[in-house]
Amino acid sequence: MIQKPTVFIHTNDKQVIGAYVGMYSMKQASRDPDAFAVKLLRLEDTPHLMKRQGQRYLRKGKNAVWLNEDLQSFSPLRRMVPQLMGFKGRALVTDPDVFAVGDILDLLNADMGGKAILCRHVRDGYKGNGHTFYASSVMLLDCEKLKHWRWDEEIDQMFAGKLDYGPWIGLTNEDPTTIGEIGEEWNSFDRLVPETRLLHTTERLTQPWKTGLAIDFNLTTKTSQVQDDGFFARLRRNLGLSRADAARDNVERYQPHPDQAQEELFFKLLKGTLDSGYLDIQLLKQRIQAKDVRQDALQLIDAMAAKA
């Protein structure tokens, strides 16, 4: 039996609503939704990492403390995917804040040119600062070529101080000749334009489902992959401050997204996710109560219904 290409959306409970919306978006945007599988990969279902709460690990040459409640604690799970696939077939892994506006089959069926990994290569870095990196937040994987990705062993090495999380998650410890490139349209950082196929809402301060909630991440850390190609200019015009200004001025709440089209897209997709049965409304209400989703989410869904 030929194994279907599989999309893994890795998440934690704090971001699980976005993950369900991503799952729905990929199926509803495809010409043949039965040609591939989509699975959620939850931190809370991986005891080998969950048990590390409070433990120290190596991150960019320094000791850090592992916190399951961190907004991006799902990130190490992306390296688990080939193991889950039995080191066979193709898999696509995405963050839980990635939403399809184009047919994911075009990427799943792409010519990998013999590479083990296809991902976006970012050459102008954070806001044009010249930093180059592999965006492992969206990766197409030839799992048979990644048999050295032994996740449990690598997690053990990371917490033993023998494996650095930074190059591990950033793929810089991989043979660069095994890494190919996908276009920006397949991992479009906060830019919704006609060419966009996968929209990645990387700027956490303005994620559309968070507006008005108390900020639950450190504004001073460099975690955003947003390029300063107009997005931050719009953000500054909308908020009157930059992300660094927000940290300095003690902004305490998530801010409205500067692109209304992206907010409308998310809530249109969220309504479809509920209507199609991909997401139970009780789970949505639980995450609203947990303050992981904005308090007016149900009203915004009703507004989408009224527009339909």
Q: What is the CATH number of domain 6-182?
A: 3.90.550.10
Secondary structure of the chain as H, E, C letters: CCCCCEEEEEECHHHHHHHHHHHHHHHHCCCCHHHCEEEEEEHHHCHHHHCCCCCEEEECCEEEECCCCCCCCCHHHHHHHHHHCCCCCEEEEECCCEEECCCCHHHHCCCCCCCCEEEEEECCCHHHCCCCEEEEEEEEEEHHHCCCCCHHHHHHHHHCCCCCHHHHHCCCCCCHHHEEECCHHHCEECCCCCCCCEEECCCHHHCCCCCCCECCCCCCCCCCCCCCCCHHHHHHHHHCCCHHHHHHCCCCECCCCCCHHHHHHHHHHHHHHHHCCCCCHHHHHHHHHCCCCCCCHHHHHHHHHHHC
- Residue 230: its pLDDT value, please? 44
- Residue 125: its pLDDT value, please? 58
- Residue 43: its pLDDT value, please? 98
- Residue 55: its pLDDT value, please? 97
Domain boundaries, the chain: 6-182, 198-307
pLDDT along the chain (308 residues), means of 10: 85 97 98 97 97 96 95 96 96 98 97 97 65 92 98 97 96 97 96 97 93 82 38 44 46 89 96 96 97 95 79
- Residue 95: its pLDDT value, please? 98
Neighbours of 237 (CB within 10 A): 9
Joined together, the tokens standing for residue 263 give 């907010």
What's the pTM?
A: 0.89
CB–CB of 140/146 below 8 Å?
A: no
CB–CB of 254/291 below 8 Å?
A: no
